[in-house]
Structure 1
Amino acid sequence: MKLGVYNAILHDRPLAEALKVIADLGLTGIELNTGGFLPPAHVPNIDQILHSDAARDDFLEIFENTGVQIAGLNCNGNPLHPNPIIGEKHAEDIRRSIKLAQRLGQHRVVTMSGLPGGEPGATRVNWVVNAWNSAALEQLDYQYDIAASFWKEIDVLAQENDVKVALELHPQNVAFNPASFRELIERAGTSNIGVELDASHLFWQQMDPVAVVRDLGSWVFHAAAKDVRINPHAAIQGVLDNSFRRLRADEHRTNLGGDEWANEWPKNSAWDFVALGKGHDTAFWTEFLKALHEVDPDMLVNIEHEDTELGAVEGLEVAAKVLLDADAALTSSLARN
């Protein structure tokens, strides 16, 4: 397995310093954000790299002798958003990321399948949580048609650039579980569109990430190591709790495109993103790596740190220890067999 870090948590420091943090953790890969919801902080000169061999070579030289190499690109966003300020920009970020991957010798781009509005003329996205009524299925048909058209186009570009696009199975997207992913690619007729297996969003939906890996098999192109802790309040509110608070313009908040912003997490949350080990122990992560190894022994598995109880480096240290211990346990198990 090839273990690394998704770099968003290290955007507050220069790339060279981020690489040192990762190397000091004993990890060997960095997944670079290249657009979407977040700016490409560590790849600010994407256009230059796309058009200049010298700029590309200068960028790749940064990684030499660091012990850390690029381990995929990430441009999570909503390319299907009905607001063109968001949707068209995120769609173009995906196209640019695919071309950039080819320039950098990379073969994986991580993103999300996206979510359109629920009907023609919509200005906001609309996610069907439970399609118990006929109107909801009609909405889903409309959204799948939009998604299939877009991803069919992206699949052609991915094939041309020898890149596989890994969709994070994320709620509030067309593809958020194996069934919805398969529906999308069957309608689109794609070959280079697969899945980024991020365990965290499966946990809070009460899915088993190991079972999902084995269900999807070779459609798993990439993986993220992020944990979730289900809290006691889930017994009262359930995992679909919407007790978020809208942050004011004078508060620190993250822009998601246009005039959309991340909200404040519920105070008494039903569940939280946590560092590896705080939700599921090393034995679980060993089984997770084992399932990924069965699909691809060279699978890229990158830590994504969103544990608000821990600092950036502190959280990465906690997660890295669990991931490295799990990898060692897997290696030992494979050697015995």
Structure 2
Amino acid sequence: MAFTYGAYTACLQDRTLEEALDVLAGLGLTGAEVNTGGFIPSPHAPVDLLLASERARRDYLAVFADRGMALTGLTVSGNPLSPLPSEGLGHAEDLRRTIELAGALEVPEVVAMSGTPGTDPGARYPAWIVNPWNGIELEILEHQWSVAVPFWKRIDALARERDVKVALELHPRNIAFSPPSFEEFVERVEPTHIGVNLDPSHLFWQQMEPIDCIERLGSHILHVHAKDTAVLAGAATRGVLDTDFGPVPEDPAQRTPTGIGHWCSTWPEDPAWRFVALGEGHDVGYWTRFLQALAAVDADLSINIEHEDAALGRIEGIERGARTLLAAAEASGA
């Protein structure tokens, strides 16, 4: 048993699948995770064709095998619980289709998000509730759980039927975004085929310690994103729940892409934090301890670099991340 080190190919959306895999293989990586719907399209996975044709599935997997690469995950990050017509129903269908496809391809894991409903049955927009210390938000949370629980019970049953595990990324703006909120998810949903995609970047900026989170979550961890965050000086006066963002820049050259047709809002000039290439926020020593903590939980995980550092180019960012991750792998023995 050993970790598989790879990358999520969404940042290489301007290349064909073959070209993207060649980049990863050239960096010494042996795994790849591709997008299949949700917030961003699926340039590296023709989902309709793959669902319809066994021959297409064989040919698709051969593209990976010919390069010594493993297809280690299908990602469908979205908000399947959203009341927005442009999100909820479509993202939920993308999730179901991705589970079907993962089963047909014998890909063990689907990476998803738990989603965020609205505040009440008539809500038009999703609402992320945090710190409900003044009471009223607890009522909103109960409504949101009443939406989330039956949906995820059905998804868990589908995943069990298809012999696929769904790994929920603990991502802000979702009903499960931390170890305690995921534990509540487990208590309410009682899943057999749903666990966690451990992405340390979102834990860092919420001021959690990912290694402590690994120890707490234990065997719930099914999949890992290797992604870094730098907490900056602006946190001293902004905190990490900052609303001082602007609209997406009008000039396309100034936009930071998060996927095909999607861009980040304009960040403050002195932000509290930002995503950085693996190794720019925490050194090899940290990632060595991170891998050792994971190995103590499960020595057979897929660990995929996710590059979202706007200061570096796509290839440059993955190269930086691969150097850090593989150096940490050698040091850890994992």
TM range (shorter): over 0.9
Contact 2:249 2:266 in 1 (8 A): no
> In the alignment, which residue of structure 2 is the partner of 1:103?
104
Question: Distance in 2 between the 1:164 and 1:321 partners?
Answer: 29
What displacement does 1:260 show?
8.8
**In the alignment, which residue of structure 2 is the partner of 1:328?**
330
Instruction: Give aligned-pair identity as a percent.
Output: 51
**Cα offset for 1:204?**
0.6
Which residue is 1:298 aligned to?
Answer: 300
How do 1:118-197 and structure 2 match up within 5 A? 118-197=119-198
Decide whether the 8 Å contact of 2:6 with 2:30 is kept in 1: yes
1:119/1:260 Cα in 2 relative to 1: closer, same or farther (>3 Å)? farther
Distance in 2 between residues matched to 1:310 and 1:249, nearest whole Å: 21
SS at match of 2:86: helix
Which residue type is aligned with residue 212 of structure 1? C
Aligned pairs, number: 330
Question: Residue 146 and residue 127 in structure 1: after superposition, are their counterparts in 2 closer, same or farther (change >3 A)?
Answer: same
TM-aligned CA distance change 1:265 to 1:228, over 3 Å? same
Alignment-mate amino acid for residue 154 of structure 1: I
1:244 matched residue in structure 2 = 245
Aligned partner of 1:285 in structure 2 is: 287
Give the corresponding residue for 2:82: 81
Unaligned runs of 5+ in 2: none
Task: State the AA in 1 paired with 2:194.
Answer: I
**TM-score between the two structures when normalised by the length of structure 2:** 0.95
Aligned AA (2:234) = H
Matches within 5 A, 1:249-268: 251=252, 262-268=264-270
Q: Which residue of 2 aligns with 1:311?
A: 313
Task: Report what 1:35 is aligned to.
Answer: 37
- Offset from partner CA, 1:176-215 (integer Å, 9 cap, x none): 0011111112111211111000000000111111110110
CA distance in 2, matches of 1:298, 1:239: 33
Over the aligned positions, Cα root-mean-square deviation in angstroms equals: 1.8
Q: How far is 1:84 from its partner?
A: 3.0
Query: 2:33·2:75 contact (CA, 8 Å) conserved in 1?
Result: yes
Amino acid of the structure 1 residue aligned with 2:52: H
**Preserved CA contact (<8 Å) 1:148 1:185:** no
Q: Is 69-78 or 47-56 further displaced after alignment?
A: 47-56
Unaligned runs of 5+ in 1: none
Match of 2:231 in 1: 230
Distance 1:280 1:197 in 2: 16
Which amino acid letter does the alignment assign opposite residue 78 of structure 1? Answer: N
Instruction: Work out the CA distance in 2 between the residues paired with 1:100 and 1:15.
Output: 17
Amino acid paired to 2:296? E
The CA distance in 1 between the partners of 2:326 and 2:163, in whole Å, is 30
d(CA) in 2 for partners of 1:328, 1:73: 27
Q: CA deviation at 1:254?
A: 5.9
Partners of 1:23 and 1:255 in 2: CA distance: 23
- 1:62 maps to 63
**What are the Cα deviations for residues 36-64 of structure 1, in whole angstroms up to 9, with x where unaligned?**
01100101x21221121111112112123
Q: What is aligned with 1:208? A: 209
